[in-house]
Structure 1
């Protein structure tokens, strides 16, 4: 029986790259808020199945995971990045960021723990360099990624039959990154960033690590060009 992997935020960018990387060896469930957003990647990966749900709607998530009795890999890739200084950032932005980047991850993981335990599964958290250090203007996002790292650390201790890997990439050449650079007043140059494919290969490397090894953290930085 082929292992099953669920990837959130899989409609484009890094999530789609991870889906392509895992497709040869896994049955895929691909997550996005709306199924329409998944049409391109589902057309490309014909055997994959959609997992359309708003991850911040906890009742909808609980309904969506019913019937998943065994899950080998859970890749948490979905998230948001609203930038701003502490002085500029409202409580609503802080709440929305923590809800999307931490609470939704914790709840989906909690609901899928029986399926993950049944498979001796692997949880992969797509974190960030901002989960290791915070820079000016990145407070809410960095706080959420520090919290995500803590979630992974706690889960690793609490669930010894599972593997939990935090991936901390530097900036990745995606549409989200283009929006961030524009918000910073810069000019987007994809050559200055990691490719989604490079990070996706790191995810697969973690998953493919032999069972006697536990890859707890992977840190990637783009090479200056």
Structure 2
């Protein structure tokens, strides 16, 4: 049985990935922001291991998670959680920049550091759910895009560093996906939202699972998906 650690499993792509892996009978470790979300995960995924930690405070992750107990062996670490705050560079103060970079970049870096021994033990796989904005920065999303560009750099360095240990690293760059975050973004930007023009969360989850299932003779380093 494979063992997977997933962030962002309460909704959207993370929930779809967790559902797919749970349906295969695999062992899930799920990270929740607070006890209420942890309870919801336990109800949705009976038998899963749930941990509570706030990715917006990456400096606390080591103490908080090690107190709860981390897995000793992992087949994959799936960084799906993320936050987004729209705004032009001339509008956003340091607060949104700090939160976005904490959740989207610093927390994945710290969580990866903490779980590398478990990943090395199983020659595991790290997957970063990036974004099309991590390749082409659109106007009005500078902070989000900057965090995702930096996440790309983190993945590339990690891939080279962990190659001798047999740990594979994949970045996934979906375009617009039908998620609550996407709907909220359109509303805040005053743009009409049509879910039919988006990728589904299940399509993205299937791509993530496909990367995990690739035979050991290769690595899918980067995956770009676009709607339709």
TM-score, normalised via structure 2 length: 0.93
Distance 1:166 1:5 in 2: 16
Q: Is the 8 A contact 1:62 1:111 kept in 2?
A: no
Residue matched to 2:60: 59
Describe the shift of the 1:197–1:90 C-alpha distance in structure 2 as closer, same or farther (beyond 3 A): same
Deviations 1:6-52 (A, max 9, x none): 10011111111000111114200111201322444432321222122
List structure 1 segments (4+ residues) > 6 angstroms apart after TM superposition: none
Matched residues, number: 222
Residue matched to 2:215: 210
Deviations 1:65-104 (A, max 9, x none): 4442111110001111011111111122212211111011
Q: Extract unaligned runs of 5+ from structure 1.
A: none
Distance 1:204 1:165 in 2: 11
Are 1:71 and 2:74 counterparts? Answer: yes
Q: Is the 8 A contact 2:41 2:50 kept in 1?
A: no
Greater CA deviation, 66-75 or 80-89? 66-75
Are 1:169 and 2:174 counterparts? Answer: yes
**Matched residue of 2:29: which SS?**
strand
Residue matched to 1:46: 46
Are 1:219 and 2:224 counterparts? Answer: yes
Describe the shift of the 1:32–1:67 C-alpha distance in structure 2 as closer, same or farther (beyond 3 A): closer
Deviation at residue 164 of structure 1 after TM alignment: 0.2
